[in-house]
Amino acid sequence: MTFHTLGLSAPLLDAIDAMGYTMPTPIQAKAIPFIVKGTDVLGIAQTGTGKTAAFALPILEELLQFPKRPLPNAPRALILAPTRELAQQIFEAIEGFAQNTSIQSAVAYGGVSIVTQTKALEAGVDILVATPGRLMDHMRQKTVDLSRLECLVLDEADRMLDMGFVKDIRAILRYCPAEKQSILLSATMSAEIRGLARSMLHSPKVIEIAPNKDVALIEQTIYRVAQSRKRDLLRDLIVDNGWEQTLVFTRMKHA
């Protein structure tokens, strides 16, 4: 399969080509034909599966098919992401895909001055990528108006819930028009995600992509130890093996 069969127009196909993508990934092949038609989508997929292009390309296509001059402060599409790093990454991907179009996008996250973001919104953008907290700041300052939103994406929704953004998300949803396309992406499918999906998606197409297979170069070992001895074990492993760079995953932040 190629990108040419997915219903994308020439400016996007040329950009995809320039970015070196030759074949759509499974989530792109499955999601793009539905999203371009305006269907709501619930995608269960992790980072690295190509999920960004899976929602960004068809949204750009929809905006291209119904071109409108962006109104001040009123984006046509909103993409919410849990962290500023992810928001920036999505924004950069969109800028790449939109390189041959006149579609305008902006990114808004906290920890940096709000002034540049406010100016960009005032000038009018088609697509806004934002973290929930900073978007709420813009909503309070009336520098963003969601009443004309045509498409909403919640990316890494499970992470947003884990980070405690549920109240912000519910508040943001209340400011969006009922009639719009919604896309929910999550790496995992929990009862909470199911609940969120039920409240925001209409007859969604559910697309589930299996996590990437283990890389054969990685050797995996399990140590069965009591909770109280985990730290000693980790220390011994690091010291005995002389590991200079170690990535440790834990269940909770404080651990």
Q: Is 44 in the site for ligand AMP (CB under 6 A)?
A: no
Six-digit token string for 72: 């001040």
Residue from the set 12, 15, 49, 153 that interacts with ligand AMP by CB under 6 A: 49
8 A C-beta contact, residue 129 and residue 106: yes
Distance CA 251, CA 179 (A): 38
Least distance between ligand AMP and beta carbon 27 (Å): 8
**How far, in Å, are 126, 135, 157, 175 from residue 72 at the CA level?**
10, 16, 28, 17
Among 47, 83, 100, 188, binds ligand AMP (CB under 6 A): 47
Shortest CB 17 distance to ligand AMP, Å: 11
Residue 56: closest CA among 161, 183, 178, 188: 183
Part of the chain binding ligand AMP (CB under 6 A), chosen from 23-31, 130-138, 203-211, 243-251: 23-31
* Angle subtended by helix axes 51-65 and 84-97, to nearest 10: 50
- Residue in 50, 58, 70, 82 binding ligand AMP, rule: CB under 6 A: 50
The phi, psi pair for 129, rounded to 5°, reads -105, 130
Q: Does 183 bind ligand AMP (CB under 6 A)?
A: no
> Contact at 8 Å (CB) between 86 and 180?
no
Q: How far is the CB of 93 from ligand AMP (least distance, A)?
A: 6
**Least distance CB 14 / ligand AMP (angstroms):** 15
CB of 190 to ligand AMP, least distance (A): 20
For tokens 């719009």, what's the residue? Answer: 180
- Among positions 25, 99, 100, 188, the unique one binding ligand AMP when judged by CB under 6 A: 25
Using the rule CB under 6 A, which residue among 11, 30, 42, 51 binds ligand AMP? Answer: 51
Least distance between ligand AMP and beta carbon 174 (Å): 29
Euclidean distance between CA atoms 72 and 126, whole angstroms: 10
Are the C-beta atoms of 62 and 151 separated by less than 8 Å? yes
Should residue 58 be labelled a site residue for ligand AMP when binding is judged by CB under 6 A? no
Q: How far is the CB of 7 from ligand AMP (least distance, A)?
A: 15
Choose the stretch contacting ligand AMP; rule: CB under 6 A; options: 24-32, 124-132, 180-188, 231-239: 24-32
Distance set, CA 221 to CA 224, 237, 245 (Å) = 10, 12, 18
**Exposed, middle or buried, 83 (CB in 10 Å: 0-12/13-18/19+)?**
middle
CB nearer to ligand AMP: give 140 or 213: 213
Nearer to ligand AMP by Cβ, of 144 and 184: the residue is 184
> Which stretches of the chain bind ligand AMP, using CB under 6 A?
21, 23-25, 28, 47-53
